[in-house]
């Protein structure tokens, strides 16, 4: 099995029982909820990961509704899947700010083939979480938003990370998207498990787009500098 085969098999088996989650929160599993997600994501991984190269791991938080929650590909919304990756998508075409930033970084790095040849992106928790707000709208949740939620998914997180390390991950450096709760959790976990020799945390793409858009180029340059150190 090559790198793509391992990712595709991993995604197909991803499952989590909602009964263990705190009341009012449900799991978001695009690989079980939408029939086309496995096909779309498999095409993506076969296009960019059909080899046995070692790659550095990038870990976000958990999938959001408008990006990986639809495509099955972290930080890739339907818009970028179509326009950048040239992969057909049928369904709701959404725009995710995090995806916008990540694809600008990828372009600055040298393009899709150059970037995905060196890096594999997923999330600390590979499945997402949603609840319904007072207005009846579904909203995203992060795995660290409550102690109960983190406790419920902790073993699932450990198992998921360890399975992905078997893909052919370069364990010298892991990149963490998020410099507060996500970084704190990953550093504490790595102190215990010794998965990676070092962790480099970068401001989360969503944070950059929401709060630091005027300084976006600074953060793109910061990302590129950090990534260059790992190759």
pLDDT of residue 91: 85
Report the 10 Å Cβ neighbour count for 106. 24
pLDDT of residue 230: 85
Helices within the chain (DSSP H only): 3-13, 30-33, 37-48, 68-71, 78-83, 97-109, 112-116, 147-165, 181-193, 205-211, 216-229
Is 35's pLDDT higher than 90?
no
Report the 10 Å Cβ neighbour count for 151. 11
DSSP secondary structure letters along 69-81: HHHSSTT--HHHH
Average pLDDT over residues 40-62: 98
* Domains annotated on the chain, with CATH: 3-229 (3.40.470.10)
Average pLDDT over residues 69-96: 95
Which tens digit of pLDDT belongs to each residue from 176-190? 999 999 999 999 999
The SS3 call for residue 56 is strand
Strand pairing partners for 129? 27, 141
Is 168's pLDDT higher than 90?
yes
Between 134 and 111, name the one with better pLDDT.
111
Instruction: Work out the pLDDT band at 13, boundaries 50, 70, 90.
Output: very high
Average pLDDT over residues 87-106: 94
pLDDT of residue 11: 98
pLDDT of residue 53: 96
Percentage, residues of the chain above pLDDT 90 = 90
Is 34's pLDDT higher than 90?
no
pTM over 0.75: yes
pLDDT of residue 195: 98
Average pLDDT over residues 58-79: 96
Q: Are 128 and 140 in contact (CB under 8 A)?
A: yes
């Amino acid at each position: 099995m090559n790198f793509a085969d391992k990712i595709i098999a991993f995604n197909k088996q991803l499952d989590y029982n909602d009964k263990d989650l705190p009341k009012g929160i449900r799991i978001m599993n695009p690989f079980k909820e939408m029939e086309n997600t496995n096909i779309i994501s498999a095409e993506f991984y076969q296009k960019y990961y059909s080899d046995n190269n070692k790659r550095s791991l990038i870990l976000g938080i958990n999938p959001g509704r408008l990006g990986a929650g639809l495509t099955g590909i972290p930080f890739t919304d339907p818009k970028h899947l179509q326009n950048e990756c040239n992969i057909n998508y049928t369904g709701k075409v959404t725009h995710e700010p995090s995806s916008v930033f990540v694809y600008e970084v990828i372009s600055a790095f040298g393009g899709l083939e150059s970037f995905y040849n060196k890096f594999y992106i997923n999330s600390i928790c590979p499945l997402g979480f949603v609840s319904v707000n007072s207005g009846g709208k579904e909203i995203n949740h992060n795995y660290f938003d409550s102690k109960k939620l983190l406790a419920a998914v902790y073993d699932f997180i450990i198992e998921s990370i360890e399975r992905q390390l078997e893909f052919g991950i370069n364990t010298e450096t892991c990149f963490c998207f998020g410099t507060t709760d996500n970084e704190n959790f990953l550093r504490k976990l790595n102190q215990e498990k010794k998965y990676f020799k070092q962790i480099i945390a970068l401001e989360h793409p969503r944070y950059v787009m929401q709060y630091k858009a005027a300084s976006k180029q600074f953060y793109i340059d910061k990302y590129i500098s950090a990534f260059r150190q790992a190759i």
